[in-house]
Structure 1
């Protein structure tokens, strides 16, 4: 399953919370444990889960939002500096909300308000190849019609309510290029012009899954393949997550090999994903695109 640049999901992204679904809470230190609250501000944290884990052209993208009410308490520490703490507020009276989604440019809700609910889902056709930004805007009102800010709006430097996710649609090598939509064939032709080196990456012989008991170490074979229209492919570099071409610059070049065996220690009794990225280089210095593959690993008690 060779893939060009990948956005690895199931991602739980709480906007403004550094990629975790738990809303922000200021660290409780000896200096602020005794801080005195002076303002309680109702807010909504917005968490987005994007599926499927790997997007391909002609897939259906699903966005599931978790819209959770919280109270942000601002105060001052004993030393006089500002402090903020968060606590869940399930009883917060949120009356209604408006949302908008738009690719490539920010949007602002203009339609009718709808009753608030904590979960919201929507879908989009994956009609692109490569990276694309999805912008989202959420606004909320309380029972008196007063605005309730989002956590992202409160924390962002310019207090902007909109946020975005970069989504990558990648090729699946199991589908022949000739069978892909026209926009995919055009993009592939452009990529081949820009990158004389092409290749593939396949984990675990193309299987979806691997597993073992918690505490054990399993071996995951990775098969590499690459050709160049300009010379011989002599080098490769790998990254243990799907990465952009810029991110791959942090990886070190090594001699090209057809296969490597990776050891993975199973730490939890659960399903987790493991991803690998690779980029190839020929003896003339030409690069390939970034190829990614992933596998699901089950930890068993």
Structure 2
């Protein structure tokens, strides 16, 4: 037996037709895959903030989620010209006390911006880059105080961890003293008599530490110590001078009990360096 056809009540039919014709939320994107990094041309007149945001959402193809209570009674200056997404939203929300937070590539949430502390200044993000130079036992030292040494252990060791008495004369100290030879460089070193032949005798580097003549080394290698043919190192070629007080035969072999004077040569720089001076 055939079933009779059912007809919809006129009221139900009207509700269905109204729902079918109802537009979606104004802040839904017209293009769900819109590229927010693209610069677009906007022509949005000033007006009510809610309406301006809806218009922007349609033109930019973005979804903007916000509580209508946040935008109620607020106006926007609108937008005219070409802008990226972030800059465009910032201009639309200027002076409104609101901000936009990205939820995904094409979805933003409008929320209350944090209140700025009175008298504070909000700065843009700044990237600072630089290169630090760590001190080594053979490299340059800024100033007069070195923190690392080589002579006491023959390794790059912090002076505070060195169990021997050691002094370091840096390049800056050499320049400040105006030293022209090794004896003049060690004038302010403790327990050192730098000019045993007098302050005017500069041909040979003859000095004493704790009453004995120390052995002289250049980069850890012993220099000849013949009294009449002792070599004299040009201080311009030196980076630092280290004075190690006390017996050091364990590291340096037969030597004076007074200690060791080790001269450290300059090392080549990564970039070409030239210098000229007059005396």
Structures share a fold, TM > 0.5? no
The alignment's TM-score, normalised by the length of structure 1, stands at 0.15
User: Of Structure 1 and Structure 2, which has the larger fraction of its residues in helix?
Assistant: 2
User: Of Structure 1 and Structure 2, which has the larger fraction of its residues in strand?
Assistant: 1
| Structure with larger RCO (C-alpha < 8 A, sep 6+) | 1
